[in-house]
Amino acid sequence: MINKLHKTDKMNGIPNRKQRREAMKYQGALRMISSAPYKKKAEIRQGQLARGRDMHAANVDYVDRERFARLEVKEAAMMKTWQDLGYNDAEVEMLREAWGIDAVGKATREDVRKKSALIEKARKSFNNRS
């Protein structure tokens, strides 16, 4: 049961809170903590909080790096596709910026308008050359 990883933790092997609690229970640490004096409990909890923050920060960094790498690969594939379709470098850059607005996350209304304008500008430029 301890070796099972939560779906978000499969990638980097950082145990989630439930797994850490199970491990502490298995090792007898929870029983030791409950019978410890108040000051010792407070010290242990502060240490656990600090380790938890560090683990969370490491997990967030890992997920961000993975997401960035995935988006870079997809962006490169999209750029290759646009170039294969006959778009020039300036048009590809416009389409890349428009694609980036959607790929990053929730877009505001202004972002959607900017994206539409960029796509339309690239399309007009492409059609004028053809």
pLDDT (tens, 9 = 90+) of the chain, 130 residues, equals: 444 544 544 556 778 888 888 998 999 988 999 999 999 999 999 998 999 899 889 888 988 999 999 999 999 999 999 999 999 999 999 999 999 988 887 878 999 999 999 999 999 999 997 6
Q: How far apart (Å, rounded) are the C-alpha atoms in residues 119 and 30?
A: 59
Q: How far apart (Å, rounded) are the C-alpha atoms in residues 5 and 92?
A: 41
Distances (CA, A) of 41 to 25, 38, 47, 68, 76: 15, 5, 10, 40, 52
Q: How far apart (Å, rounded) are the C-alpha atoms in residues 93 and 91?
A: 5
Give the predicted TM-score (pTM) of the model. 0.65
